[in-house]
């Protein structure tokens, strides 16, 4: 039977990004806001709020998530991808294309 990794073990085996503190703070603030939006949507469902109003909130939340993804992608390209290319790691291009395809599916 396979054992699941603890968070610490997973952290030790994963590659890490190197976002400046102000970027991490901005991303965390945005994600906290999104988390609040999700809780609000859940409350709307529980209170039987009109479907169109819930859908409007879902759309706003999706837009906020897309903004986080765009910021992360920008940092990834300008940092991780550039660094790996400079090290001669051309495989990062295929990885980037796969990541972009995942984002475009949504």
Is 6 a domain residue?
no
Name the one residue in this structure whose structure tokens are 């988390």: 35
User: Any residues with CB less than 8 A from the CB of 96 and at least 6 apart, and which?
Assistant: 76, 77, 81
Cα 35 from Cα 86, distance rounded (Å) = 37
- In which domain, by residue range, is 38 found? 20-104
Residue 19: which pLDDT band, with cuts at 50, 70 and 90?
Answer: confident
Q: How many domains does the chain have?
A: 1
Type and span of the H or E element at 22: helix 21-46
Q: How confident is the model at residue 13 (pLDDT cuts 50, 70, 90)?
A: very low
Residue 77: give its domain's CATH number: 1.20.58.1000
Best CA proximity match to 60, nearest among 46, 77, 40:
40
Instruction: Provide the pLDDT confidence category of residue 106 given band limits of 50, 70 and 90.
Output: low
pLDDT at residue 10, as a whole number = 46
Quick one: pLDDT at residue 1? 41
């Amino acid at each position: 039977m396979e054992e699941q990794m603890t968070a610490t073990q997973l952290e030790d085996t994963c590659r890490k990004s190197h976002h400046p503190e102000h970027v991490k703070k901005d991303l965390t603030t945005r994600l906290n806001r999104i988390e609040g939006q999700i809780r609000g949507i859940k409350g709307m469902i529980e209170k039987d709020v009109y479907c169109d109003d819930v859908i409007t909130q879902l759309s706003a939340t999706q837009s906020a998530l897309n903004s986080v993804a765009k910021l992360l992608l920008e940092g990834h390209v300008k940092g991780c991808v550039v660094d790996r290319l400079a090290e001669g790691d051309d495989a990062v291009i295929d990885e980037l294309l796969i990541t972009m395809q995942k984002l475009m599916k949504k």
